[in-house]
């Protein structure tokens, strides 16, 4: 009751497409893409790549395919996209528009790779992001002979990560790890890169939203994957090594012996990386990762949990913690004990504190946490 609605699945769809050379169309009324461009897209000056079909009352009665094909045709002339993805939102999903059929016809009409993502506007952003990345892999990647030493980065995205980390990611992976990055699913992927991504030697899943695409590519192309957000110098270095070998995956972190207890709330892989930092650098003995968004069971530790409603967080906050890391909006869920460090998360608090999102890539997370813990927090509480 005290939290805002979280980013919807259509925002995950928009985020996945926003930096690409493709185009997205949400089959619904005006406003469904406005959620994203009005509340969540923080990159000023980038071209708008996601639109709505602009349904009216008559379309809801007579069917939305006509208006969808017409609008896509108009927009494709203006934008010259390399591929097109469609998705539903509440109206079109309720009337059951056949987007699969529409995507087939649109593909023929435009002569472009076209596919649809099965969304309804009722789920949260990570459902949309995950489904869109999987569809991108399925519809756009092509199998072929493996390119040794190459890696796809799956799931880093502008909703979970700050813009600076997203912009630096590819260069960081290439320079720090000597990796050859084929495609960044969730970042600024081009069609040519996505096509070639089917030949990568290994997939690096950087957020839980990249997991579905990784599983699909493993099944179809046999590309192995490993998991972890490269936040914190030590864990990032381990992950870079895994990327080189392609044989290891996420392993549970080893708690410290200092006795501290922490609660981390946010995107699972990001929080898991910060937990490692708390264990390794600060000696915390216990750290729970909780999220209002889908979690990867394989990377959960005892005590980690998926939060279904805000009352569950209120209960969690009643427990004794020395440190809590989470979006500032989550403070509304009830009184807490222990130090609270803000980690703004766009799907929760929109643009409100987006300019305060810290850089976490590689050693930046160590520096951020040290600075936060060194700061006098009396003014924040």
Partner 1 sequence: MNGERKEQRPVVSPARTQAGIYPTLARVPGAQLLFVGPLACTRHGLISTLQQLHGRIAFLCLTDTEVATGRYLDKTVRAAQEVARRRQAGCLILITCCQNALLGTDYEQLTARIREETGLASGYLEVNRLALYAKGKLPLMSRPAGQLVYEFLAPREKSPRPWVNLLGPAGVEPDSEADAFLRAAGVERVRTPERCADFAAYQEMAGAHLNVALTHDAEETARELEGRLGIPWLPLNAEYDEGLLECQYTRLGEFFGYDAAGWLSQRRGRLAQRLARLQKALPSGVEVDGRNTGGALALTRWLWEQGVPVERVLLDSFSSPEDEARAWLAQQHPETALCRQTYRPAINEGCPAQARRGTGEARFPTGYERFHQVLDQLMGEREERER
CB of 29 to partner 1, least distance (A): 4
Is there a contact between 305 and 246 (Cβ–Cβ < 8 Å)? no
Closest CA to 262 of 245, 281, 243, 249: 281
Residue labelled with tokens 């087939």: 104
List binders of partner 1 among 86-105 (CB under 8 A): 89-91, 93-95
Q: Which region among 85-93, 140-148, 205-213, 273-281 touches partner 1 (by CB under 8 A)? A: 85-93
Contact between 28 and 121 (Cβ < 8 Å): yes
| Stretch near partner 1 under the rule CB under 8 A, chosen from 45-53, 170-178, 292-300, 314-322 | 45-53
Whether residue 339 contacts residue 376, with contact meaning beta carbons closer than 8 Å, is answered with no
Member of 41, 165, 188, 272 binding partner 1 (CB under 8 A): 41
Q: How far is the CB of 60 from partner 1 (least distance, A)?
A: 6
Task: Indicate the residue among 221 and 293 with the shorter CB distance to partner 1.
Answer: 293
* Contact call for residue 38 and partner 1 (CB under 8 A): yes
Per-residue interface string for the shown chain with partner 1, residues 64-83, x marking contact by CB under 8 A: --------------x-----
Nearer to partner 1, 35 or 193 (CB): 35
Q: Does 349 bind partner 1 (CB under 8 A)?
A: yes
Pairing of β 286-291 and β 261-265 = parallel
Q: Among residues 27 and 304, whose Cβ is nearest to partner 1?
A: 27
Selected range binding partner 1 among 46-54, 98-106, 253-261, 366-374, rule: CB under 8 A: 46-54
- Using an 8 Å Cβ cutoff, are 117 and 92 in contact? no
Q: Would you count residue 5 as binding partner 1 (CB under 8 A)?
A: yes
CA–CA separation, 184 vs 197, rounded Å?
A: 9
Would you count residue 11 as binding partner 1 (CB under 8 A)? yes
Among 70, 122, 318, 375, binds partner 1 (CB under 8 A): 122
In the bound state with partner 1, the residue whose beta carbon lies nearer, of 146 and 314, is: 314
**Three-state SS at 326:** strand
**Under DSSP, is residue 262 helix (H, G, I), strand (E, B) or coil?**
strand
User: CA–CA separation, 246 vs 224, rounded Å?
Assistant: 7
Only one residue has tokens 């000597």, namely: 178
What is d(CA 12, CA 133) in angstroms, rounded to the nearest whole number?
A: 9
Site membership for partner 1, residue 48 (CB under 8 A): yes
Q: Label the pairing between strands 305-306 and 339-342.
A: unpaired
d(CA 317, CA 134): 35
Is there binding between residue 8 and partner 1 (CB under 8 A)? yes
Among 215, 332, 359, 367, binds partner 1 (CB under 8 A): 332
- Token reading at 181: 């990055």
* Binding to partner 1 in span 18-37, by CB under 8 A: 28-35, 37
- Residue count of the chain, please give it: 381
**Interacting residues with partner 1 (CB under 8 A):** 1-2, 4-11, 28-35, 37-39, 41-48, 51, 54-57, 59-60, 78, 89-91, 93-95, 120-124, 329, 332, 349-352, 354-355
């Amino acid at each position: 009751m005290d939290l805002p609605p979280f980013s919807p699945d259509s925002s995950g769809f928009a985020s996945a497409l926003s930096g690409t050379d493709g185009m997205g169309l949400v089959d619904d009324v005006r406003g469904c893409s406005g959620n994203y461009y009005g509340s969540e897209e923080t990159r000023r000056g980038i071209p708008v790549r996601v639109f709505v079909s602009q349904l009216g009352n008559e379309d809801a009665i007579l069917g939305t395919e006509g208006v969808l094909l017409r609008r896509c045709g108009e927009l494709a002339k203006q934008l010259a996209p390399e591929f097109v993805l469609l998705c539903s939102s509440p109206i079109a999903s309720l009337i059951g528009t056949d987007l699969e059929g529409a995507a087939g016809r649109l593909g023929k009409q435009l002569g472009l790779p076209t596919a649809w993502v099965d969304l309804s506007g009722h789920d949260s952003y990570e459902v949309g992001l995950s489904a869109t990345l999987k569809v991108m892999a399925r519809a756009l990647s092509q199998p072929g002979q493996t390119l040794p030493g190459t890696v796809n980065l799956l799931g880093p995205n502008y909703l979970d990560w700050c813009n600076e980390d997203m912009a630096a990611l590819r260069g960081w992976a290439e320079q720090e790890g000597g990796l050859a990055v084929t495609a960044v699913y969730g970042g600024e992927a081009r069609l040519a890169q996505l096509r070639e991504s089917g030949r990568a030697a290994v997939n690096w899943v950087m957020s839980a939203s990249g997991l579905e695409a990784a599983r699909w590519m493993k099944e179809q192309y046999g590309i192995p994957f490993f998991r972890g957000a490269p936040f914190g110098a030590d864990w990032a270095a381990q992950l870079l090594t895994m990327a080189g070998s392609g044989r290891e995956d996420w392993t549970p972190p080893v708690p410290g012996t200092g006795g501290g207890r922490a609660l981390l709330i946010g995107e699972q892989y990001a929080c898991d990386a910060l937990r490692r930092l708390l264990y390794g650098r600060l000696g915390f003995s216990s750290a729970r990762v909780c999220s209002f968004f889908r979690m990867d069971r394989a990377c959960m530790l005892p005590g980690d949990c998926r939060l279904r409603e805000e009352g569950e967080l209120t209960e969690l906050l009643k427990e004794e913690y020395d440190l809590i890391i989470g979006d500032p909006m989550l403070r509304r869920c009830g009184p807490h004990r222990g130090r609270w460090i803000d980690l703004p998360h766009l799907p929760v608090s929109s643009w409100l504190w987006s300019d305060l999102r810290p850089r976490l890539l590689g050693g930046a997370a160590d520096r951020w946490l040290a600075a936060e813990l060194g700061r006098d927090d009396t003014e924040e509480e």
